[in-house]
Amino acid sequence: MSTPTTDKHAFKAEVKQLLDIVIHSLYTDKEIFIRELISNASDALEKLRHTQLTEKEIYDDTLSLEINVNTDDKAKTITFQDFGIGMTREELVQNLGTIAHSGTKAFLQAIESGQKPEGLIGQFGVGFYSAFMVAKSVKVFTHSWRNDAEHLIWTSDGSGNYEVETTDGQRRGCKIVIELKDDATEFCIESKVKNIIQRYSSFVNFPVNLNGEKLNTVQAIWTKNKSEITEEQYTEFYKYQASAYDEPMFRLHFNADAPIAINALVFVPGQNTERFGFGRIDPGVSLYCKQVLIDDKPEKLLPDWLRFLRGVIDSADLPLNISRETMQDSALVNKLGHVITKRVLKMLHDESGKNPELYEKFYKQFSAFIKEGVATDHTHREGLAKLLRYESSLTEAGKTTSLEDYVTRMKESQKDIYYLHALSRSAIETGPYLEAFKARGIEVLFVYEAIDEFVMSYLVNFKEKKIVAADQADLDLGETDKAPEGQSLSESEASDFTAWLRQSLGERVGKVETGKRLVESPVIALNNDKMATPAMRRMMKAMHQEQGHEPLVKMDLEINPRHKLIQKLNALRTANPEKAKVLAEQLADNAMLAAGLVEDPRVLVNRLHQILEFAAE
């Protein structure tokens, strides 16, 4: 046995400053010292494991690689023991007497730049020194991995000095005994400590035992190879991590070393609870560094529209003590989020091909998020657009197509992608808008929800094809294959007629023209304001009408000079101008009705009564 010696040291100035802040400020996140000490223990075990690979002579080589936490509510202590690499005298002085750690330095810089320490500690963590938030004194008993290393005790009360003494009988690794302050005695209560360990350290790579009971029973399967994991383990992990009861629908398990180290395991849940009106889902992909939790609900890791995902993203490249504030500007965190988002999009796209029925189920539950993404996330818009599904004029009712498939069906002469919005398939099929496209064999997507119109207008393009509303005024659809049958008004008759119609309708409409679009219908209302989607127009209209103004958005009318009704109306306007004017009004209203833009149903109904009277004569 060596003669005990005591070495007195003063902390380096910056450590003193740090300890002063830690000890004298009010803080809310005291509990994070447990996370910090367990993660140090885990690091030390990891280092030992590494050393074992290259060194033959290791002190106490039969000890198992585990972490033991013990609480003692009589002595008011909490102890962290690991059988890891341990520290030599020089290492004690170097590692615990100075600040090497970048997170802690960043913490000090934040304080120096005038930020209040309250709350910052929990966000940064201050590594080993966080123990002094709760400690009257800290003792580190240690023996480094070498056989000939000293048995040492490092002691400090955090007040400026520390001592290193030689002692005897130490096992390999570190045992850190914390004598708790009077206002921190909750940390010698087993149940309290158990909760904290389970929250932060459930997936630490080595067994974590609290008073002899192993706490981390769920493995950090995201770090493993896919082939080592069974379906049941995946599901069990999902349920544990997401506190969920359903079965996950899809999962993405992804490991990479370069350009950044990522181990990610994320799930699409079986249910979208936002649909049931449970309110906005909190983001649920937790951020870890080497199996130690950094943030269980990071707001800025993934885009908002991916808030339905559950799971874990772990990167060994992240500093454990990255702050939640700096996380937002961290290039590394952005990169992580971007890589995972792209992977998730690809996974969903792949599944839609491999597993269309399951994908359809997914889409029913989660399409709102995809659409939200298209509207809000420019970076991933293209990938998101591939996930959209719509009915179309070529699908059966209830069946959908992707935009990619639509594009493959486009004719050579077709430049744009067309869509129509209405509340139902039958409303589109019986309305006047589809016929021009049908006559030319052009496919039209059917969109039924208001958000879909926004989605279409945000998309603008898909695969370099413009996305265009089929009720747009200035569409060049080309000639129809079959020339429409029957007589037509002559050109001069038609121009007189349109002039008369425009005059009769007054300020209600924009331009009135003849056109080639219509086959079966006499008239169609077209949108001449490209910026206004039909949904926007209806909204503007509603707002405007409430205020009792003229209609704000005017639609153009296109008439079909081959239609019997138009020809008869043309004759009537000289024979019976008054009657013709009533019919003209109704013609315009019918067009508006088909556009979903009826102005005042009472006016319309009264006029219909008048027309019925004519008919009954």
Which parts of this chain interact with ligand ADP (CB under 6 A)? 36, 40-41, 43-44, 82, 84-87, 95-96, 101, 127-128, 174
Q: Output 272 or 323, the one with its CB closest to ligand ADP.
A: 323
Asked whether position 590 contacts Mg ion by CB under 5 A, the answer is: no
What values do phi and psi take at 44, rounded to 5? -65, -35
CB of 133 to Mg ion, least distance (A): 14
Q: Output 97 or 515, the one with its CB closest to ligand ADP.
A: 97
Q: Output 35 or 389, the one with its CB closest to ligand ADP.
A: 35
Partner in contact with 290, chosen from ligand ADP, Mg ion, none, beta carbon below 5 to 8 Å by kind:
none
- Interacting span for Mg ion (CB under 5 A) from 72-80, 124-132, 269-277, 462-470: 124-132
Q: Output 129 or 267, the one with its CB closest to Mg ion.
A: 129
Partner in contact with 87, chosen from ligand ADP, Mg ion, none, beta carbon below 5 to 8 Å by kind:
ligand ADP
CB 252, CB 237: distance < 8 Å: no
- Interacting span for Mg ion (CB under 5 A) from 36-44, 90-98, 235-243, 434-442: 36-44
CB 500, CB 588: distance < 8 Å: no
Asked whether position 127 contacts Mg ion by CB under 5 A, the answer is: yes
Partner in contact with 85, chosen from Mg ion, ligand ADP, none, beta carbon below 5 to 8 Å by kind:
ligand ADP
Angle, CA of 370, 375 and 380, to the nearest 5°: 65
Sheet bearing 77-82, strands edge to edge: 6-10, 161-166, 151-156, 135-143, 173-180, 77-82, 67-72, 208-210, 213-214
Q: Output 10 or 256, the one with its CB closest to ligand ADP.
A: 10
Partner in contact with 82, chosen from Mg ion, ligand ADP, none, beta carbon below 5 to 8 Å by kind:
ligand ADP
Measured CA to CA in angstroms, residue 383 lies from 335, 344, 350, 388, 409 at distances of 17, 10, 12, 10, 20
Q: Output 86 or 431, the one with its CB closest to ligand ADP.
A: 86
CB of 86 to ligand ADP, least distance (A): 6
Q: Closest residue to ligand ADP, Cβ-based?
A: 127
CB of 383 to ligand ADP, least distance (A): 37
- Residue count, binding to Mg ion (CB under 5 A): 2
Partner in contact with 493, chosen from Mg ion, ligand ADP, none, beta carbon below 5 to 8 Å by kind:
none
Partner in contact with 210, chosen from Mg ion, ligand ADP, none, beta carbon below 5 to 8 Å by kind:
none
CB 41, CB 190: distance < 8 Å: no
Looking at 202-283, list the stretches that DSSP marks H as alpha helix, in order from N- to C-terminal side.
231-242
The Cα 359–Cα 533 span in angstroms is 29
CB of 180 to ligand ADP, least distance (A): 19
The Cα 497–Cα 270 span in angstroms is 60
Q: Output 127 or 431, the one with its CB closest to ligand ADP.
A: 127
Token output for 547: 């205020």
The Cα 475–Cα 461 span in angstroms is 16
The Cα 465–Cα 607 span in angstroms is 43
Measured CA to CA in angstroms, residue 420 lies from 72, 173, 206, 395, 468 at distances of 71, 70, 59, 14, 9
Partner in contact with 370, chosen from Mg ion, ligand ADP, none, beta carbon below 5 to 8 Å by kind:
none
- Interacting span for Mg ion (CB under 5 A) from 38-46, 172-180, 355-363, 525-533: 38-46
Partner in contact with 122, chosen from Mg ion, ligand ADP, none, beta carbon below 5 to 8 Å by kind:
none
Q: Output 101 or 516, the one with its CB closest to ligand ADP.
A: 101
Place of tokens 């269980």: 296
**Options 18, 31, 33, 40; binder of Mg ion; rule CB under 5 A:** 40
Q: Output 40 or 241, the one with its CB closest to Mg ion.
A: 40
> What part of residues 568-587 is at the interface with Mg ion (CB under 5 A)?
none
Residue 262, CA atoms < 13 Å, CB-side half-sphere: 25
Q: Output 206 or 366, the one with its CB closest to ligand ADP.
A: 206
CB 154, CB 39: distance < 8 Å: no
Asked whether position 341 contacts Mg ion by CB under 5 A, the answer is: no
Q: Output 44 or 309, the one with its CB closest to ligand ADP.
A: 44
CB 563, CB 488: distance < 8 Å: no
Q: Which residues lie closer than 8 Å to 498 by C-beta, 6 or more apart?
A: 512, 513, 514, 559
CB of 164 to Mg ion, least distance (A): 20
Measured CA to CA in angstroms, residue 359 lies from 190, 325, 348, 350, 491 at distances of 46, 37, 8, 10, 53
CB of 291 to ligand ADP, least distance (A): 14
Looking at 355-490, list the stretches that DSSP marks H as alpha helix, in order from N- to C-terminal side.
356-376, 381-385, 403-409, 425-430, 435-439, 450-459
CB of 43 to ligand ADP, least distance (A): 6
Partner in contact with 534, chosen from Mg ion, ligand ADP, none, beta carbon below 5 to 8 Å by kind:
none
CB neighbours of residue 368 within 10 Å = 15
> Nearest CA to 149 among 122, 131, 174?
174
Q: Output 292 or 312, the one with its CB closest to ligand ADP.
A: 292
Q: Output 82 or 372, the one with its CB closest to ligand ADP.
A: 82
CB of 357 to ligand ADP, least distance (A): 49
CB 180, CB 121: distance < 8 Å: no
Q: Output 127 or 337, the one with its CB closest to Mg ion.
A: 127
CB of 298 to ligand ADP, least distance (A): 20
CB 2, CB 166: distance < 8 Å: yes
The Cα 487–Cα 563 span in angstroms is 8
Partner in contact with 84, chosen from Mg ion, ligand ADP, none, beta carbon below 5 to 8 Å by kind:
ligand ADP
CB 132, CB 158: distance < 8 Å: yes
- Interacting span for Mg ion (CB under 5 A) from 37-45, 238-246, 529-537, 601-609: 37-45
CB of 321 to ligand ADP, least distance (A): 7
Partner in contact with 178, chosen from ligand ADP, Mg ion, none, beta carbon below 5 to 8 Å by kind:
none
CB of 47 to Mg ion, least distance (A): 12
Token output for 559: 């008439």
CB of 105 to ligand ADP, least distance (A): 10
**512 strand-pairing partners:** 557
CB 521, CB 567: distance < 8 Å: no
Partner in contact with 44, chosen from ligand ADP, Mg ion, none, beta carbon below 5 to 8 Å by kind:
ligand ADP
Question: Applying CB under 5 A, which residues contact Mg ion?
Answer: 40, 127
